[in-house]
Structure 1
Amino acid sequence: MLRVAETREGRWTVLHVRGELDLVSSPVVRQRVHDAVAAGDRQVVLDLSEVFFCDSSGVGVLVAARRLMRSCQGRLRLVLPARGAEEGSHVNRVLAALGVRRLFEVYADAASAADDEASPLSA
Structure 2
Amino acid sequence: MTIQVDEDEQDPWTVLRIRGELDLVTSPLIRKRVHAAVAGGRHDVVLDLSAVRFCDSSGVGVLIAARRLMRSCGGRLRLILPARGAEEGAHVNRVLAALGVRRLFDVYADVPAAVEDEARPLSA
Normalised to the residue count of structure 2, the TM-score between the two structures is 0.95
CA distance in 2, matches of 1:87, 1:53: 8
Aligned match of 2:114: 113
**Alignment-derived partner of residue 100 in structure 2:** 99
Question: C-alpha distance in 2, partners of 1:51/1:103?
Answer: 19
Length, aligned pairs only:
123
Q: Aligned residue for 2:15?
A: 14
Letter in 2 for 1:100: V
Distance in 1 between the 2:52 and 2:118 partners? 26
Q: TM-score by structure 1 length? A: 0.96
Where in structure 1 are there 5+ consecutive unaligned residues?
Answer: none
> Structure 1 counterpart of 2:86, which letter?
A
Runs (5+) with no aligned partner, structure 2: none
How many Å separate the matches in 2 of 1:63 and 1:7?
A: 22
RMSD: 1.4
The share of aligned pairs that are identical, in percent, is 73
Residues 27 and 87 from structure 1, CA distance in 2 versus in 1: closer, same or farther, beyond 3 angstroms?
A: closer
The one-character-per-residue Cα deviations of 1:36-68 (angstroms, maximum 9, x if unpaired) are 000000100000000000000000000000000
Give the C-alpha shift of residue 24 in structure 1: 0.4
SS in 2 for 1:13: strand
- Large movers: runs of 4+ above 2 Å: none
